[in-house]
Each structure stands twice: as structure tokens, then as C-alpha cells.
Chains A and B, each alone.
With several copies, the nearest count.
Chain A
Amino acid sequence: MSEETLPEDTDTPEAPQEESLFEAPPMGEQERMVEALLFASAEPLTVKELNGRMPHGADAAEAIVHLRKRYEGRGVRVNKVGDAWAIRTAPDLGFLMQKEQVETRKLSRAAIETLAIIAYHQPVTRAEIEEIRGVSVSRGTVDQLLDMEWIRFGRRKMTPGRPVTFVVTQQFLDHFALESARDLPGLKELRAAGLLENRLPPGAMPTVSEDEDLQEETNEGQSELFED
């Protein structure tokens, strides 16, 4: 707490942080801050967002670790959602909250299957989805999933035509209480069974129109959407 500092660098190993004019608040305080911020927001906040709102030198990532532990077994919990965090009620108490239940749009079987394929195979092109389902994917299905913000465009694939790919979003992870897409149920088993491989058909197989309508889509100026 002393204001004096030696002119020479002291070699303390625990001071690797960038120097700051102000000392970061103690970790207990930081935990309170993260708690307040996560409670206040309905949407998940990234560590970066949290740090941006907290005093200089604060370490939201560490504060979250403490906070998460504190809420274990409580009525609300700290959920990891991709690279963000959110407070959500404990699922076993859902029965109390009929009043808060929101009527979700009924998804068609095609939409649910398409969503599952995107989640398990991401990044995946429309042609690949069609190959797996054996039927062409209607524009409406993809639009609906995009509209719900459960999927988004990923990087273009480095194959001829540079087709767009789809990946699932943070909202998707939040909706299904998944920490990351790696935590999808049964993912490991599927991979072990070779069912996530993109196995090409030996010779000519009946496949759905792969190229024509995909080609046009690739030219749309959507490169700014490809962050990752």
C-alpha cells in the first residue's frame, strides 16, 4: 500500500501486470462487481466486456471463478456461454416459473435436424447439410435459424466456389446451456464412430444440386460477417 517505489525495478514475480496509476480493487470487490454486472445484464457478457466496465487492472476472469463457486447449488448459477458468462436460474426450479415461460416458435423437423447438423458438423456448408439429410435445404429453414440467431455465417470454405459455411452462435449455446459446441451431447461418440467425417461417396451417388444456387450466394458481400 506504500506509495513509495524504488527507482529500480523490484523483481517481484507476482507483478507481471502492466503498471497502472491506480491499484486494482481487491479480488473480493472485483467479485462483487462481476456479480452486479452479470445480474444486471440479461445477455451474456464476455470477459473483455466485463473488464472494460470494471476499474483498470481488474481481472474479471479470476473474479468469475470465485463467483461461480459461490453460486454452486444456489437458485441461480453462473453459466459459461462460449467465451461469455451469464447468470441463469437453476434448471431444477423451472417448474416455479410457468409465468416467465416464453412461447418459443415451433421449429419444423427439418429446422431441428438442420440445426443439429450445423452444431455437430460446424463449420458446414449448405451442400454438406444436404448431403447428410439427402434432401435440399429450403431457404426458409436456414433463414429461420439465422433469424433466431441460433446460427450465423462462418468462414468461407476453401473449396471451389468458396461456399459459405454455417456455425452456431452464442445465443444457441445460451439457449441450450452449453459451455461450448464441444459440449454437445454425444459428440465424442459420434466422432469415435466416424459419423462426423465428411466421407465422400464412392463414385456417382445421387446428390442434391450442390452448386448452382450456392454459387450465387458466395458473391454476396458477407465477408464482414466472418469473424471466426
Chain B
Amino acid sequence: MTEDFIEQSKRDVVAERLAAEALIIDVDGFEGPLDLLLTLSRTQKVDLRTISILQLARQYLAFVEKAKELRLELAADYLVMAAWLAFLKSRLLLPPDPEEEGPSGEELAAHLAFQLERLQAMRDCAAKLMARDQLGKDFFKRGIPEDITKTRIVTYSANLMDLMQGYARMRTKDEFRPFILDRDSVWTMEQALERMRGLIGYAGAWTDIISYLPDGWGNDPKKRRSATAATFAASLELAKEGKVEIRQSGTFEPIQLRSKERGT
């Protein structure tokens, strides 16, 4: 019995030593300082909620010391964590200085405990997730999916303009110039915009946009159409810029605008 006990405790000691060495040797195997802290916290054999952060900080610092002795190169973030834990340790040990600003040692320790608990929770979740039935491993999709035959229906489009242009092109051969607009009955949006910018400053009250049509463009239907379209587009542009407000009481009713700066 006693021999067994001695054997057992010997074995424990060996196991512990091996574990400690493994920690050091496997430092590359850790997924960062938080992971190392979580691993170290297990040696306290308590619930993460009741863990002693002070003790954990000591363990971590001892680990880093050991690694230095063994001339293991630790990544920078391990050293940053070590410096921070040293700071935390001193805060936890010294009586709180009322002059000092910032969070207390307890608050910092509580947050570290929270981080460890959260990381552990995510690890558990990951394990639970991977333990679920998985597609292609535990359950399966249809082995012979039936193809959805895609029948491609091609429709060709051509409009009357294409047709007429095509015809005109042939009948007039080389003289044909494709789609030339008669520019002298076209009022562009740029022109309308320029004109309106000069005028809206005076438009405090609601005014029909038709009144912004350039002089002499209201009579000829073709000119009137072009100028109205350009003025309307320009009004929208000005509204977008926040310069004017636009309203229309109903379909086909006059469209009115007023300057925003003055109107309110």
C-alpha cells in the first residue's frame, strides 16, 4: 500500500514536471498569451469564476522567467502581457492610491477573469459545434441530384428606331449620319441648371417650373418639350443639392419649386 502510494506520488511529481516542461517547450503551440493564461489557470483546479488572478499573474511571470532561463524566445505579445500582469500584480498588492486615476486593480483583474471565462466558453462552444451531426459525415444530401434543365430562351430585341435607322442607313448609303439631333431646338440640363442657379435666389414663393423656361422656348412645341425636360431635370438636381424644394399637388399638376434658403 505505502509503496503504491510512494509510487503514485513519484509518478505525480514526474507528471507535473513533464507538464511544466511541456508548457515551456510548447510555447509555440499556444494561441497567444490568453491561451497560455487559460492553460495555467487549470493548474489552480478551481472554477474560472473563483480563480485567483494574483496567483495566475505570478504563475505567468514565473513561466516567462523560466522561458528566459531556457533562452526561449517569446513572442512580443507574451512579453507585453507579462509587463501588464506585473503592473496588475503591484496594483493588487498595494493599497489603492486615491490620487491615482484609472481602473482599480480589482476591475482589471475582473476583466481578465471575464476574458478567460469567455475564451473558455468559446472553446466549449467550438467543441459542442464540432460534436454535432455533420453533413457528409453523419447525414447526407441527395446522391443523385436531378439536374434542373435550364432551357435557354433567347429573345432578340430591336425597336422601331433600330429598324428605321437601319433602313435609312441603307437608303441613303454613305450620306447617312446616324441619329443626329437638331441641336438648335435642344435645351440641355447644363444650360437649364446654369439658368436656374441664377434665378432661384429670387424664388422665395412657390413658382411653377415652367416659368424657368428660357425666353422664346415656350411656344415651339419641340423647343418647349426639350426645355421643360431640361428644367425639370435641373430642378431635381438642385433639390438634391438642397438648394430648392419641389412640390406637385397631383399627377399632371404643375410642378412648383422654391428656394430652400428663403423658404423657411
In the complex where A39-B140, A203-B108 touch, is A197 in contact with B34 (Cβ < 8 A)?
no
Instruction: Identify which of B31, B175, B177 contacts A201 (C-beta below 8 A).
Output: B175
Interface of A is mostly: loop
Fill in one digit per residue for B136-168: 1 if any A CB lies within 8 Å of its CB, else 0. 111111111111111111111111111111111
Write out the residue numbers on chain B whose beta carbons fall within 8 Å of the beta carbon of A136: 32
Contact flag A132-B139 (CB < 8 Å), given A99-B148, A176-B160: no
CB–CB A112/B179 < 8 A: no
CB-CB contacts of A97-133 with B at 8 A, as 1s and 0s?
Answer: 1111111111101111101110110000000000011
Do B111 and A116 touch across chains, with their CB atoms under 8 A apart?
A: no
Say yes or no: B147 contacts A97, CB within 8 Å.
yes
| A1 close to B (CB within 8 Å) | no
Listed stretches B59-67, B118-126, B242-250; interface member:
B118-126
| Residues in B neighbouring A40, C-beta threshold 8 A | 140-143, 145-146, 148
List residues of A (46-78) whose CB comes within 8 Å of B's CBs: none
A20 at interface, CB cutoff 8 A:
no
Q: Could you give, for residues 194-216 of chain A, a 1 whenever the CB lies within 8 Å of some chain B CB and a 0 otherwise?
A: 11110111111110100000000
Distance of B159 from chain A, by nearest CB (Å): 7
The contact string, 1 if C-beta is below 8 Å from chain B, for chain A 26-59, is 0000000000100111111000000000000000
Residues on B with beta carbons closer than 8 Å to the beta carbon of A103 = 152-155
**Contact status A203-B119, CB under 8 Å:** no
* Chain B, range 221-236, C-beta contacts under 8 Å to A: none
Give the distance to chain A from B77, nearest Cβ to Cβ, in Å: 7
Tally of B interface residues using CB under 8 Å: 78
Q: How far does the alpha carbon of A43 sit from the alpha carbon of B162 in the complex, in Å? A: 44
When chains A and B are docked, how far (Å) is the Cα of A44 from the Cα of B145? Answer: 12
In contact, B77 and A120 (Cβ under 8 angstroms): no
Is B169's beta carbon under 8 Å from chain A?
yes
14 extra interface residue pairs, beta carbon distance < 8 Å, beyond A41-B146, A177-B135, A190-B167 = A41-B148, A42-B142, A86-B141, A94-B133, A99-B148, A101-B152, A101-B153, A107-B162, A112-B158, A113-B170, A116-B125, A116-B164, A175-B134, A194-B179
Q: Categorize the interface residue count of chain A.
A: 35 or more
Q: Check: B71 CB closer than 8 A to any chain A CB.
A: no
Partner of A197, one of B33, B141, B154, B176: B176
Residues of A within 8 A of B (CB): 36, 39-44, 86-91, 94, 97-107, 109-113, 115-117, 119-120, 132-136, 144, 148, 174-178, 184-187, 190, 193-197, 199-206, 208
Q: Give which listed residue, B80, B143, B165, B175, contacts A42 with CB less than 8 A.
A: B143
* A91 vs B160: C-alpha distance when bound (angstroms): 44
Q: How far is the CB of B42 from chain A (nearest CB, A)?
A: 16
B240: Cβ under 8 A from any A Cβ: no
B172 lies within 8 A of chain A by Cβ: yes
Give which listed residue, B31, B114, B163, contacts A119 with CB less than 8 A.
B163
CA distance A87 to B141 in the complex (A): 7
Contact residue among A87, A102, A109 (Cβ-Cβ distance under 8 Å from B166):
A109
Contact of A112 among B81, B84, B118, B162 (CB under 8 A): B162
Are B129 and A94 touching (Cβ within 8 A)? Answer: no
A177 touches B128 (CB 8 A): no
Which interface residue of A39, A94, A195, A201 has the most chain B CB atoms within 10 A?
A195
Question: Does residue B107 face the partner (Cβ distance < 8 Å to A)?
Answer: yes
Contact B160 A177 (CB under 8 A): yes
